[in-house]
């Protein structure tokens, strides 16, 4: 940490007005994107409010025209494809021959450059830099060729390659579709007067609803106030659920494809102890994302768990600080050690992941400054050695601390006494899914989809081939 998620999406169809529900649901998904927020409600036409900032900043004051609508979609965003600007904020709306279309997209289309080029060569014009606009314009184009909305979505899915969990408002109908590998999460639930689609199950629960199920990888469905309807499912032999959702991104109370992320994180803590035990006095989580993992480590090791680092919850959005110096200053403002807890102790800091290493380095130094005798780090994610091309905003390879360094070199760079990571097989075991059904691209350099210049999983290297 800290990495930036790309987006969170939400769709609601109800018998009663939904403005408040959309606000509640988007606040519950705020961790997935903090750069822009928006919602579109149907009330005779699509009406949208969106802007740069948090849900509480952008979506707290509405005109009367928003108050009666009973169907709509919402979105929170951190930019991946396309830059950080208002023109890329979602939902994004276009006019099609059949009416209005609005889209909320989480993910990243890996063949977007090729598609954009093809479409521009055929005379299409785009208003934004996003892959989401390519998708919505492709759907609108198929509608203009007399296809139904379901067929238009299906034909678009056949052309786009990448990760996508999408909510789509077509006039007053709410659709959802998910890529055939199921890379990003998406689930559907029931509320008092209707149905909800959300990136994470926890949002449905916070909205007072009950989770019905995950949207299947490759599925196109729609919700109305009365029912969920599946239109088609495109099956892929193997799936590619993003391992990082389990490790860090999703809320700890989210269930992704039937698995509670909190349990996975605790299990990783136990596995870390099994794989890399250490003599120590206290286990200290790096809050908040290291908490469940640290608890698992503490339980397995019988070393006491102590909250020795305190997070200032009112310092927001450190990751949005564009300049490294600003980011560093915010890190020390954000996490402060309790001297009385760490002084004279052999401390094990448990973190969910290490990306650049800057944050870990500063935390280690601050815990040493507070008097710790030894500072060890245990990490709940194997070394990140390769970028994500599928929807998570990560630095480039040369900014990661792990590539081309041994664990001893990383330990030295960070200034800890020891640094150990959970192994890839250990992580896979803790998630409880087959390795063939997970995306492990950023930790194995093997991606589940063709990505230019990168290896695809299942491909043998020349050395493997020769062996």
Binding site for ligand SF4 (CB under 6 A): 183, 242-244, 388, 390, 392, 439-442
Residue with smaller CB distance to ligand SF4, 91 or 357? 357
The rounded distance, in Å, linking the Cα atoms of 390 and 124 is 25
Smallest distance from ligand SF4 to CB 395, Å: 12
Residue with smaller CB distance to ligand SF4, 204 or 439? 439
The rounded distance, in Å, linking the Cα atoms of 92 and 88 is 8
The rounded distance, in Å, linking the Cα atoms of 317 and 453 is 32
Smallest distance from ligand SF4 to CB 107, Å: 9
Closest residue to ligand SF4, Cβ-based?
Answer: 388
Smallest distance from ligand SF4 to CB 440, Å: 6
- Picking from 67, 21, 71, the residue whose alpha carbon sits closest to that of residue 208 is 21
> Given the structure tokens 């849900």, which residue do they identify?
55
The rounded distance, in Å, linking the Cα atoms of 344 and 267 is 29
Smallest distance from ligand SF4 to CB 100, Å: 31
> Given the structure tokens 């600003």, which residue do they identify?
326
Beta strands in 127-233 (DSSP E): 162-170, 173-178, 187-191, 194-198, 210-214, 219-223, 228-233
Smallest distance from ligand SF4 to CB 456, Å: 12
**327, two tokens:** 């980011």
Residue with smaller CB distance to ligand SF4, 175 or 244? 244
The rounded distance, in Å, linking the Cα atoms of 444 and 112 is 24
Residue with smaller CB distance to ligand SF4, 228 or 402? 402
Smallest distance from ligand SF4 to CB 95, Å: 33
How many angstroms separate the Cα of 77 from the Cα of each of 12, 137, 160, 187, 269? 18, 20, 20, 18, 30
**276, two tokens:** 């890399």
Smallest distance from ligand SF4 to CB 392, Å: 4
Residue with smaller CB distance to ligand SF4, 209 or 218? 218
The rounded distance, in Å, linking the Cα atoms of 268 and 301 is 13
Total residues found in the chain within this entry: 467
Residue with smaller CB distance to ligand SF4, 221 or 388? 388
Residue with smaller CB distance to ligand SF4, 172 or 245? 245
Determine phi and psi for 375, rounding to 5 degrees: -130, 115
User: Strand 374-379 relative to strand 346-351: parallel, antiparallel, unpaired?
Assistant: parallel
In DSSP notation, 424-463 reads HHHHHHHHTS-GGGEE-HHHHSEESS--TTSEETTPPPHH
Determine phi and psi for 290, rounding to 5 degrees: -90, 0
Known catalytic residue at 430? no
Q: Contact 312/333 with Cβ under 8 angstroms?
A: yes
Residue with smaller CB distance to ligand SF4, 104 or 162? 162
Catalytic residues: 7
């Amino acid at each position: 940490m800290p990495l930036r998620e790309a987006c969170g999406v939400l769709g609601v169809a109800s018998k009663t007005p939904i403005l408040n529900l959309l606000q509640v649901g988007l606040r519950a998904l705020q961790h997935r994107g903090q750069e822009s927020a928006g919602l579109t409600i149907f009330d005779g036409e699509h009406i949208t409010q969106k802007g740069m900032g948090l849900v509480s900043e952008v979506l707290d004051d509405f005109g009367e025209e928003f108050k009666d609508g009973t169907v709509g979609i919402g979105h929170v965003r951190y930019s991946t494809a396309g830059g950080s600007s208002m023109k890329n904020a979602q939902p994004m709306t276009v006019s099609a021959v059949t009416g209005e279309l609005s889209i909320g997209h989480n993910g990243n289309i890996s063949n977007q450059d090729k598609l954009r080029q093809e479409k521009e060569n055929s005379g299409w014009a785009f208003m934004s830099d996003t892959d989401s606009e390519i998708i919505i314009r492709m759907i609108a184009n198929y509608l203009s060729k007399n296809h139904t909305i379901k067929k238009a979505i299906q034909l678009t899915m056949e052309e786009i390659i990448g990760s996508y969990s999408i909510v789509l408002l077509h006039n007053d109908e709410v659709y959802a579709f998910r890529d055939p590998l199921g890379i990003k999460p998406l689930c559907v639930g029931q509320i008092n007067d209707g149905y909800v689609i959300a990136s994470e199950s926890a949002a449905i629960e916070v909205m007072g609803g009950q989770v019905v199920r995950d949207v299947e990888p490759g599925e196109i469905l729609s919700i109305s106030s009365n029912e969920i309807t599946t239109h088609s499912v495109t099956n892929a032999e193997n799936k590619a659920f993003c391992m990082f959702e389990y490790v860090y991104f999703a809320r700890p109370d989210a269930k992704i494809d039937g698995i509670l992320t909190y349990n996975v994180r605790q299990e990783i803590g136990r596995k870390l102890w099994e794989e890399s035990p250490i003599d120590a006095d206290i286990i200290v989580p790096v809050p908040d994302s290291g908490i469940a993992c640290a608890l698992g480590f503490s339980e397995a090791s019988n070393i006491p768990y102590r909250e020795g680092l305190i997070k200032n919850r009112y310092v927001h959005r450190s990751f949005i600080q564009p300049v490294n110096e600003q980011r560093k200053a915010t890190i020390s403002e954000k996490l402060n050690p309790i001297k009385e807890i760490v002084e004279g102790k052999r401390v094990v800091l448990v973190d969910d992941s290490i990306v650049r290493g800057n944050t870990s380095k500063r935390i280690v130094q601050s815990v040493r400054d507070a008097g710790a005798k030894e500072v060890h780090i245990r990490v709940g994610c194997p070394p990140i050695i390769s970028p994500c091309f599928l929807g998570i905003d990560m630095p480039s390879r040369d900014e990661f601390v792990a590539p081309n360094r041994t664990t001893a070199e990383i330990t030295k760079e960070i200034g800890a006494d020891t640094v150990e990571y959970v192994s890839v097989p250990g992580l896979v075991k803790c998630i409880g899914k087959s390795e063939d059904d997970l995306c492990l691209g950023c930790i194995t350099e093997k991606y589940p989809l063709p990505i230019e210049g990168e290896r695809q999983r299942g491909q043998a290297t020349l050395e493997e081939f020769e062996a």
